[in-house]
């Protein structure tokens, strides 16, 4: 095997001080994605810092909402009474993801860090701009397979319709993150320069010219928790995931909806989509449009049309230009009926 | 019990063993000094290997050998006529196969082995394999069937025609439609591979993932020019075969050659992506059906054309269009079957095989035609029902398809179906009903078996047949029990080894008929001997006739005289016998030629379709089998349920996708290639007509592994049409094909 350094740490401070700031270094949490990538040699690590023993798995009430520790298991979050009661959208999204076995391993922080499932990214013999150079071993610094974007002009049925670039049209695969983006979450981070917090929607990034970079974390930074602010969406929440089979499949399109209703009138709306962009895709224009409007099919269709303004298909995924607005309408309808 | 009587539902005899880890699969066998082989596959689909640098791999830790086309040990018998594959060892003429593993720098398909690395552990072999650098002179790969369709060839077998070719054109009501089936991959849970151990210069022990140990034995005997008697092949259990183990694959032969060269046992377990390119697949097939009928719905003509992919180096053919020739009463029928040779690895039968591909087209077209004629789909089929086989002009050995239609329709609630699509809703979803027919040859192949009755009343059944999961052991137990009356828990089945009496390859829904008949015959011999012992002069029942006797629970008795009986153990001990051992070879009789023997199935489904998202869910499935007497009701039902699960995959989710720019699969893993999961599979009702076939074999049993799948995808497509009015002619029926533009 390719040798790498492996260290187990027990405090966030130790994690940050142990991990090298160079490329090819990774925190290992549930490992449900990282180990796969190492086996496929998409990632050849130089250093793994095992953070599974960090005391960061608590889910607790705060003065402004709920804090979820970065090491909380996906299944523990989905089944937690506070989450089911106050943030059912998050619970639904988590349960729509992966399989029961994977949810029992995967952590909240790890889920945010998972890489795209683009087939070209996973096959080192195929062109991909996202893989970047080999990070360790005798070929360090060499390209890890041919460059270019294999998905453009190729098999791109699963790919982005929003915010893609000429370098990359991959999508972010998480369900959980769609709910967190919709629910105005904040990400708490610690690192060599101390602690900081950023809005969840600022955490992931679009591919632009550096598709290798999925998020805005700086080297050696560690996610410690996610904060969810109190809201009034619990009664009218829904996570719709459209996929090729009923379970254990990535989203063709998914929609997370939270509505605050007064009678038939929408006071506040939160909408985010998955399977459509390199990051959870928040539908701000549609949210603005729905505010103060009656919950009606007509208005839902208007909102969906607004949401699709900048969408662009790449061939095999052109169907998403229809499926996405349809799904927005369907999710809004179900969320309205939920009570 | 006789074939006139239904069999009780007993538990799978090896079920406990399988779920407690007691059953050993090929890769479970550990051997001293075992070395591990890992295959390095080509990254291009067509071209020339210009260089292969193995230096780093050769000197990597634990490496025993690295083999490429430059140093591959010879396989002496490969270019001599090849012995049989699927019929248990009967010699056959040479196959069409011209591909020779690691013999040339020519690349013929994606994933083609370019090196095989052997090391002392699997991990070290894997690492060494990763160090091999191949360079290629890449040529543009021809992997798209559509783009190469003008190069189609006519395989052996030719076209079929009865009646007038122009009959379709002059029909009053006409339908023409095209259907497409993608590449499907078997994807059993167990990975493919082999362990080869040369125990002497000419002595070979093999643990393989094969559906036929005798076939593998023959193939290896051929390849290495060794007496088959000196080769033992063991495959007792298999973690799913579905057809991929129906032949000996080149990499298996290569492992045997390498084991000989390195002088120690070698094990190969392939990885999941290699399962897409080295052990076959259901071929991508396009079909056109023309149906002509009169205004009352009587069929006038059916023309069925299919074009399937095959490899550049071998023609693989299957019976895709055959069902159309005999399924319905129709005076004018033609079928046409073509192949397109592509730069892809060769396909192989996958459950239901070509018949499932063909049934999707024919049974979809029948549904389309029924709709056009404003006839109920069942009524349309009954209107064109035939009790004799129109292709061979002879009677069916048995056919109870009408009853199957009736019982399935009742169970699914067919009366709730609306003849116009889009008329039923549940909440926001559309609901629809669909049905389809399946049919598959019922065979009676040659097979042998041995049974050994001990004086303690226990019975051992022996046959080389491999259990690929359908419940073979349970069925053989039932057959022996029915003849000899030995309690189920006193019967042991030994199978899956060439040291046992010869059996055909497990496939083609043929094993209960073939091996079961041999077991029946062997048991009958034991029974006759017991009766002879009882009836001989001075015997306990002397003076009676064999026809007056019964045998059950270890007692021979005179049927009409209660109390007149003798225990089997007493009988055997009085003759100083500790066991009675009988062999039987069974092959049916020429009388079978007078009949067409088929198993039939009818599948009914109820689907729910979300019109906005296009998501289709099968919410109820009923499968009815008319496959003669059911030998083991419980495992037979499991087999039907498995067929439905596979059918849902075929209908809704399964498709291996190739990027034709590279000629390579892009979803060659179980996350992206979607087999149906539990959430896709609803409660399934299985119904057996369970009426014995009077002709095929002494048990009256016909096969049922294939019919469990054949036709199912058509039933789903027909139900989607009934729910939404959308006719999907390309599988799988994914959301994008069904959703409607609403916004």
Residue B90 has pLDDT above 50, yes or no: no
In the prediction, which pLDDT does B1 show?
54
B484 in contact with chain A, both atoms CB, cutoff 8 A: no
pLDDT at B580: 98
pLDDT band at A1 (very low <50, low <70, confident <90, very high): confident
Q: Residue B97: what pLDDT?
A: 63
A35 Cα to chain B: minimum distance (Å): 15
Contact B142, B313 (CB under 8 A): no
Beta bridge partners of B106: B48
What is the C-alpha separation between B270 and B195, in angstroms, rounded? 12
Residues of chain B neighbouring A330 (CB-CB closer than 8 A): 428, 610, 612-613
Within this chain, domains B285-443+593-738 and B444-592 share the same CATH topology:
yes
Q: Is residue A11 part of a domain?
A: yes
| Cα A243 to chain centroid, rounded | 16
Whichever domain contains A248, its CATH number is 3.30.390.50
Interface test with A, best of B650, B665, B743 (most A CBs within 10 A): B743
Q: Is the pLDDT of residue B266 over 90?
A: yes
Q: Which residues of A touch B740 (CB under 8 A)?
A: 326
Q: Are B286 and B179 in contact (CB under 8 A)?
A: yes
Q: What is the mean pLDDT of residues B129-140?
A: 96
User: If DSSP codes are grouped into helix, strand and coil, which group holds residue A285?
Assistant: helix
What are the structure tokens assigned to B33, written together?
Answer: 């000094």
- Sign of the torsion formed by the C-alpha atoms of B511, B514, B520 and B526: negative
C-beta neighbour count of B269 within 10 angstroms: 18
Scan for tokens 């790890």, then name that residue: A110
State whether residue A325 is helix, strand or coil.
helix
Calculate mean pLDDT across residues A237-248. 97
Return the pLDDT at B424.
97
Q: Flag whether the ipTM exceeds 0.85.
A: yes
For the cut 60, the answer to whether the pLDDT of residue B431 exceeds it is yes
Is pLDDT at A258 greater than 70 in this prediction?
yes
A225-242: pLDDT as tens digits: 999 999 999 999 999 999
Residue A329 contacts B where some CB pair is shorter than 8 Å: yes
Residue B83 has pLDDT above 70, yes or no: no
Pair A45, A23: CB distance under 8 Å: no
Question: Is the predicted pLDDT of residue B94 greater than 60, yes or no?
Answer: no
A113 at B interface, C-beta within 8 A: no
Inter-residue contact B505 to B218 (CB < 8 Å): no
Is the pLDDT confidence value at A299 over 80? yes
Average pLDDT (A200-220) is 97
Residue B63: band (very low, low, confident or very high) from pLDDT cuts 50, 70, 90: very high
SS3 B584: strand
| Domain count along chain A | 2
Nearest-CA distance A304 → chain B (Å): 7
Burial class (CB in 10 A: 0-12, 13-18, 19+), B239: middle
pLDDT 10s digits, B226-243: 999 999 999 999 999 999
The Cβ-side half-sphere exposure at B467, using a 13 Å CA radius, reads 25
CB contact under 8 A, B612 and A326: yes
pLDDT in the model for residue B742: 77
CB atoms within 10 A of CB B97: 16
Averaged pLDDT, A281-301: 98
Domain containing residue A18: 5-52
Spell out a b/e string for B665-697, using b for 16 or more CB atoms within 10 Å of the CB, else e.
bbbbbebbbbbbbeebbbebbbbbbbbbbebbb
Average pLDDT value over all residues in chain B: 95
**pLDDT tens figures, A85-109:** 999 999 999 999 999 999 999 999 9
Contacts of A319 in chain B (CB under 8 A): 736, 739
CA distances from B568 to B478, B490, B559 (A): 19, 14, 16
| Confidence band, pLDDT 50/70/90 cuts, at residue A22 | confident
| CA B13 to centroid of chain Cα atoms | 21
Q: Which CATH class is domain B285-443+593-738?
A: alpha beta
pLDDT band at B537 (very low <50, low <70, confident <90, very high): confident
Q: Is residue A302 part of a domain?
A: yes
3-state DSSP assignment of residue B645? helix
Residue A205 lies in a domain: no
Q: Which residues of B touch A301 (CB under 8 A)?
A: 742-743
Percent of chain A with pLDDT over 70: 99
Hey, is the C-beta of B156 within 8 angstroms of any chain A C-beta?
Answer: no
Does residue B614 have a pLDDT over 50?
A: yes
The answer to whether B743 contacts A304, with C-beta atoms less than 8 Å apart, is yes
* B706 classed as catalytic: yes
pLDDT single digits (tens) B651-703: 999 999 999 999 999 999 999 999 999 999 999 999 999 999 999 999 999 99
Q: What is the pLDDT of residue A21?
A: 86
Res B91: pLDDT: 41
Contact status of A6 with chain B (Cβ, < 8 Å): no
Compute, in degrees rounded to 10, the torsion defined by CA atoms A290, A294, A297, A300. Answer: 0
Question: Which residue in chain B is spatially nearest to A297 when comparing CA positions?
Answer: B743
Residue A242 near residue A138, CB atoms below 8 Å = no
pLDDT in tens, B295-330: 999 999 999 999 999 999 999 999 999 999 999 999
**Contacts of residue B270, Cβ cutoff 8 Å, sequence gap at least 6:** B39, B191, B192, B193, B251, B278, B279
The whole-number pLDDT of residue B613 equals 96
Mean pLDDT of A251-262: 98
The size of the A-B interface in CB pairs under 8 A is 101
- The tens digit of pLDDT for each residue in B327-370 reads 999 999 999 999 999 999 999 999 999 999 999 999 999 999 99
Domain ranges of chain B: 285-443+593-738, 444-592
Q: What are phi and psi of B380, to 5 degrees?
A: -60, -45
Residue B88 in this model has a pLDDT that exceeds 50:
no
For residues B3 and A72, the model is more confident at: A72
Whether A245 sits inside 8 A of B679 (CB atoms) is yes
| Stretch among A222-236, B427-441, B560-574 having the lowest mean pLDDT | B560-574
User: Does the structure show a pLDDT above 90 at B402?
Assistant: yes
In the block, tokens 């018998």 appear at B77
Per-residue model confidence (pLDDT) at position B743: 72
pLDDT of residue B84: 43
HSE toward the beta carbon, residue A265, CA cutoff 13 A:
5
pLDDT tens-digit series, residues B166-180: 999 999 999 999 999
User: Which CATH number belongs to the domain containing residue A9 in this structure?
Assistant: 3.30.43
Give the A window 258-317 contacts with B, CB below 8 Å.
301, 304-305, 308
Contact B743 A1 (CB under 8 A): no
Question: For residue B429, what pLDDT is reported?
Answer: 95
- Cα distance between residue B707 and residue B630, in whole Å: 14
pLDDT > 50? residue A149: yes
B127 touching chain A per CB within 8 A: yes
Nearest CA-CA partner of B646 in B703, B708, B715, B599: B708
Chain A residues whose CB is inside 8 A of the B276 CB are: none
Judged by CB atoms closer than 8 Å, whether chains meet at B742 and A326 is answered as yes
Mean of all residue pLDDT scores within chain A? 97
Taking CB atoms and an 8 Å cutoff, what residues of chain B touch A247? 677-680
What is the model's pLDDT at position B98? 79
Does residue B305 sit in helix, strand or coil?
A: strand
What's the topology of domain B444-592?
A: Aldehyde Oxidoreductase; domain 4 (3.30.365)
Cβ–Cβ contact B272 with A under 8 A:
no
Please judge whether B735 and A247 are an interchain contact, meaning their C-beta atoms are less than 8 angstroms apart.
no
pLDDT tens, position by position, A305-327: 999 999 999 999 999 999 999 99
Q: Are B714 and B727 in contact (CB under 8 A)?
A: no
């Amino acid at each position: 095997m390719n040798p790498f350094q492996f260290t187990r740490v027990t405090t966030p401070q130790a994690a940050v001080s142990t991990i090298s700031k160079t490329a090819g270094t990774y925190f290992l949490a549930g490992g449900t994605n990282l180990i796969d990538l190492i086996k496929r040699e998409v990632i050849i690590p130089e250093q793994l810092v095992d953070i599974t023993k960090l005391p960061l798995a608590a889910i607790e009430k705060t003065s402004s909402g709920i804090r979820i520790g970065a090491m909380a298991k996906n299944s523990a979050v989905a089944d937690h009474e506070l989450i089911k009661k106050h943030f059912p959208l998050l619970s639904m999204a988590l349960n729509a993801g992966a399989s029961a076995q994977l949810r029992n391993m995967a952590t909240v922080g790890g889920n945010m860090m998972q890489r795209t499932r683009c087939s070209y990214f996973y096959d080192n013999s195929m062109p991909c701009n996202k893989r970047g150079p080999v990070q360790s071993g005798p070929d360090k610094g060499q390209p890890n397979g041919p460059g270019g974007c294999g998905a453009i002009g190729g098999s791109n049925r699963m790919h982005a319709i929003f915010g893609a670039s000429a370098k990359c049209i991959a999508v972010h695969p998480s369900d959980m993150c769609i709910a967190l983006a919709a629910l105005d979450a904040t990400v708490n981070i610690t690192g060599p320069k101390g602690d900081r917090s950023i809005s969840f929607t600022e955490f992931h990034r679009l591919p632009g010219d550096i598709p290798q970079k999925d998020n805005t974390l700086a080297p050696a930074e560690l996610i410690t928790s996610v904060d969810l602010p109190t809201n009034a969406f619990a009664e009218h929440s829904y996570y719709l995931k459209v996929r090729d089979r009923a379970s254990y499949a990535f989203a063709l399109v998914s929609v997370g909806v939270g509505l605050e209703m007064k009678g038939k009138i929408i006071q506040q709306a939160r909408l985010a989509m998955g399977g459509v962009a390199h990051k959870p895709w928040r539908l701000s224009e549609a949210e603005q449009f729905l505010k103060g409007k009656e919950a009606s099919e007509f208005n839902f269709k208007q909102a969906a049309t607004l949401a699709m303004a900048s969408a662009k298909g790449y061939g095999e995924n052109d169907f998403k230009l229809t499926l996405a607005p349809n799904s927005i309408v369907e999710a809004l309808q179900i969320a309205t009926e939920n009570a | 019990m006789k074939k006139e009587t239904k069999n009780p539902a007993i538990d799978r005899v090896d079920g406990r063993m399988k779920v407690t880890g007691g059953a050993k699969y090929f890769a479970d066998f550990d051997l001293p000094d075992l070395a591990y082989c890992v295959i390095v596959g080509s990254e291009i689909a067509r071209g020339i290997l210009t260089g292969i640098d193995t230096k780093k791999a050769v000197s990597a830790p634990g490496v025993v050998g690295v083999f490429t086309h430059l140093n591959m040990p010879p396989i002496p018998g490969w270019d001599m006529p090849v012995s049989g594959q699927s019929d248990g060892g009967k010699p056959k003429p040479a196959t069409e196969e011209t591909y020779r593993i690691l013999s040339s720098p020519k690349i013929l398909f994606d994933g083609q082995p370019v090196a095989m690395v052997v090391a002392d552990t699997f991990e070290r072999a894997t690492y060494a394999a990763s160090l091999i650098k191949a360079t290629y002179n890449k040529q543009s790969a021809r992997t798209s069937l559509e783009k190469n369709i003008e190069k189609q060839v006519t395989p052996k077998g030719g076209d079929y025609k009865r009646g007038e070719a122009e009959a379709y054109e002059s029909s009053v009501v006409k339908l023409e439609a095209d259907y497409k089936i993608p590449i499907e991959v078997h994807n059993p849970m167990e990975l493919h591979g082999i362990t080869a151990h040369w125990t002497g210069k000419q002595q070979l022990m093999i643990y393989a993932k094969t559906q036929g140990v005798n076939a593998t034995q023959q193939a290896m005997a051929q390849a290495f020019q060794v007496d088959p008697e000196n080769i033992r092949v063991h495959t007792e259990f298999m973690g799913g075969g579905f057809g991929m183990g129906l032949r000996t694959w080149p990499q298996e032969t290569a492992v045997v050659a390498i084991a000989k060269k390195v002088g120690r046992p070698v094990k190969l377990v392939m990885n999941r992506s290699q399962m897409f390119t080295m052990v076959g697949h259901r071929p991508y097939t396009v079909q056109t059906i023309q149906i002509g009928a009169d205004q009352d719905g009587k069929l006038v003509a059916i023309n069925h054309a299919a074009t399937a992919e095959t490899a550049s180096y071998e023609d693989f053919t299957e019976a895709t269009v055959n069902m159309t020739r005999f399924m319905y009463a129709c005076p004018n029928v033609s079928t046409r079957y073509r192949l397109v040779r592509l730069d892809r690895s060769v396909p192989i039968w996958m459950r239901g095989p070509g018949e499932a591909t063909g049934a999707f087209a024919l049974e979809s077209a029948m549904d389309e035609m029924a709709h056009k004629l404003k006839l109920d789909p069942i009524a349309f089929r009954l209107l064109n029902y035939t009790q004799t086989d129109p292709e061979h002009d002879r009677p069916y050995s048995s056919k109870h398809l009408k009853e199957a239609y009736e019982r399935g329709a009742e169970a699914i609630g067919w009366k709730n179906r609306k003849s116009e699509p889009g008329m039923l809703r549940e909440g926001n979803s559309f609901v629809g009903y669909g049905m389809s027919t399946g049919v598959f040859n019922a065979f009676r192949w040659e097979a042998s078996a041995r049974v050994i009755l001990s004086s303690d009343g226990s019975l051992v059944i022996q046959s080389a047949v491999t259990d690929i999961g359908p419940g073979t052991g349970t069925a053989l137990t039932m057959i022996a029990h029915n003849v000899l009356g030995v309690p189920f828990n006193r019967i042991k089945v030994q199978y899956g080894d060439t040291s046992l009496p010869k059996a055909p390859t497990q496939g083609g829904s043929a094993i209960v008929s073939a091996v079961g008949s041999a077991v029946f015959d062997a048991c009958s011999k034991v029974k006759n001997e017991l009766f002879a012992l009882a009836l001989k002069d001075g015997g306990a029942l002397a003076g009676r006739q064999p026809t007056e006797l019964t045998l059950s629970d270890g007692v021979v008795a005179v049927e009409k005289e209660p109390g007149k009986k003798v225990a089997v153990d007493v009988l055997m001990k009085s003759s100083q016998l500790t066991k009675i051992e009988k062999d039987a070879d069974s092959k049916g009789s020429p009388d079978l030629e007078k009949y067409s023997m088929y198993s039939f199935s009818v599948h009914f489904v109820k689907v729910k379709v979300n019109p906005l998202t296009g998501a289709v869910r099968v919410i109820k499935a009923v499968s009815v089998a008319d496959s003669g007497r059911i030998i083991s009701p419980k495992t037979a039902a499991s087999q039907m349920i498995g067929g439905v699960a596979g059918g849902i995959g075929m209908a809704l989710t399964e498709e291996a996708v190739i990027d034709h720019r590279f000629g390579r699969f892009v979803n060659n893993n179980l996350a992206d290639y979607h087999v149906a999961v539990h959430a896709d599979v609803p409660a399934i009702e299985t119904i057996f007509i369970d009426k014995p076939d009077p002709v095929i074999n002494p048990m009256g049993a016909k096969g049922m592994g294939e019919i469990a799948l054949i036709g199912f995808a058509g039933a789903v497509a027909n139900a989607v049409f009934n729910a939404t009015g959308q006719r999907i002619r390309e599988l799988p029926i994914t959301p994008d094909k069904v959703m409607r533009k609403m916004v």
